[in-house]
Amino acid sequence: MIIAITALKGGVGKTTTAIHLAAFFQSLAPTLLIDADKNRSALVWSKEDKLPFYVASQAGAPGLIKKFTHILIDTQARPEPEELEDLAAGSDLLILPTTPNPLDLDSTVKAIELLEPLNAQYKVLLTQVDSRTTTGRDARKFLEEAKLPLFKVDIPRLVAFERAPSRGVIVKDYPDPRSSLGWSKYRAIGKEVMAYIKE
Ligand SMILES: Nc1ncnc2c1ncn2[C@@H]1O[C@H](COP(=O)(O)OP(=O)(O)OP(=O)(O)O)[C@@H](O)[C@H]1O
Ligand SMILES: [Mg+2]
């Protein structure tokens, strides 16, 4: 299965999502995360060798792909329309993370307008949702009213997600009382992906 994580905006949680879903899929079958972002954020996260899956650069990926059952692709912000087209054609599913911020939601709608004519399979993931406010709920209502396909589970905004990269670990392995909450949410998203692909 090939899953690409993409968005027109930066900072919406693409790399965090790619890393945690790769960890989930690795628990099912060998999984490769391809870092297709020039900033190499996923490669930097992996450099201490504490992640439970393999991360490759785009240049390093071709020789490795056949050894893995699941491939995840972390992409750069602001992809060219041609890049989106290639990702849509080459993936079983595109995951579009967005924060509840109205500007990010607007970019998500624009990304979907580009994807619609391509017959792409995509699903929107709400990330960095602050549970103390209604912004997550409001964003979900907006996306549902726009009839955009949306994961049932949101990813909460947690300090553990912010800090895990500096230790080179996934959130589950970061010592914080709310780490297991964060990990349970990405596990739930992974299960939704599996159910979606089987449909
Ligand atoms: N659920 C979350 N809770 C708290 N912080 C988060 C969460 N998800 C991501 N972050 C933080 O938000 C910032 C952006 O996240 P991330 O790097 O995953 O986004 P991105 O879309 O890959 O960004 P870029 O476009 O720069 O590649 C990072 O500092 C990350 O640690
Ligand atoms: Mg990134």
| Among the bound ligands, the one closest to the CA of 43 | 2
pLDDT, position 25:
98
Residue 36 Cα, ligand 2 centroid: separation in angstroms? 9
**Could you give the angle at which helices 135-145 and 102-115 cross, rounded to 10 degrees?**
30
Q: What confidence tens digit (pLDDT) does each residue in 4-38 have? A: 999 999 999 999 999 999 999 999 999 999 999 99
Cα 160 to middle of ligand 1, angstroms: 11
* pTM exceeding the 0.75 threshold for the entire prediction: yes
How far is it, in rounded angstroms, from Cα 158 to Cα 151? 19
Q: How far is the CA of 192 from the centre of ligand 2 (A)?
A: 22
- pLDDT for 199: 75
Chain mean position to CA 122:
12
DSSP state at residue 16: H
The confidence score (pLDDT) of residue 197 equals: 85
The CA distance from 193 to 195, in Å, is 5
Distances from the Cα of 188 to the Cα of 14, 46, 168, 170, 193, angstroms:
17, 23, 22, 15, 9
Which atom number of ligand 1 is nearest to the Cα of residue 164?
Answer: 31
The per-residue pLDDT for 78 is 87
Using a CB cutoff of 5 Å, list residues around ligand 2, an ion: 14-15, 41
- Strand-pair partners of 97: 125
In this structure, what DSSP letter does residue 118 have?
A: G
- The domain limits of the chain are 2-198
- Which tokens hold the place of 106? 């607007």
Residues having CB within 6 Å of any atom of ligand 1: 10-16, 37, 39, 41, 77, 127-128, 155, 157-158, 161-162, 165
What is the structure's pLDDT at 81? Answer: 86
Q: Can you give the pLDDT of all 199 residues of the chain as single tens digits?
A: 999 999 999 999 999 999 999 999 999 999 999 999 999 999 999 999 999 999 999 999 999 999 999 999 999 988 988 999 999 999 999 999 999 999 999 999 999 999 999 989 999 999 999 999 999 999 999 999 999 999 999 999 999 999 999 999 999 999 999 999 999 999 999 999 999 988 7
Ligand 2 centroid – CA 178 distance (Å): 23
| Conformational region of residue 128, where left means phi above 0, alpha means psi within -120 to 50, and beta covers everything else | left
CA of 116 to the centre of ligand 2 (A): 24
Which class is 2-198 in CATH? alpha beta
